Amino acid sequence: MYMNGQMIYEDRHFLDHMSSQVPVQIYYGQRHSDIGLIEYYGKEFVQVNNIFYNRRQFTFVSRPGY
């Protein structure tokens, strides 16, 4: 289980969140960009709410219970 606010960055983190339907919050720098469930992830992008976010450009944070 992931803690609220824990950064996720490895493939297994994204897979865990996608398969368990645990929400993630997305930041661009320190600015909130989006929150939702992972629909797809790959080596370079993560799809949340029909938007593809670059894994190198954005920060992903676990939000269980949201």
Backbone angles phi, psi at 17, to 5 degrees: -65, -40
Tokens 């368990």, residue? 20
Over residues 28-55, the pLDDT tens digits come to 999 999 999 999 999 999 999 999 999 9
pTM: 0.94
Q: What is the pLDDT of residue 65?
A: 82
Mean pLDDT of 8-24: 97
Question: Helix (H, G, I), strand (E, B), or coil: what is residue 23?
Answer: coil
Asked if residue 1 is part of any domain, the answer here is no
Asked if residue 51 is part of any domain, the answer here is yes
Asked if residue 29 is part of any domain, the answer here is yes
Asked if residue 30 is part of any domain, the answer here is yes
Q: What is the pLDDT of residue 38?
A: 98
| CATH code of residue 19 | 2.30.30.100
Q: What is the pLDDT of residue 58?
A: 98
Q: What is the domain range of residue 34?
A: 6-62
Q: What is the mean pLDDT of the chain?
A: 96
CA atoms within 13 A on the CB side of 56: 2
For the chain, what is the domain count? 1
Please give the Cα distance from 52 to 66 (Å, whole number): 21
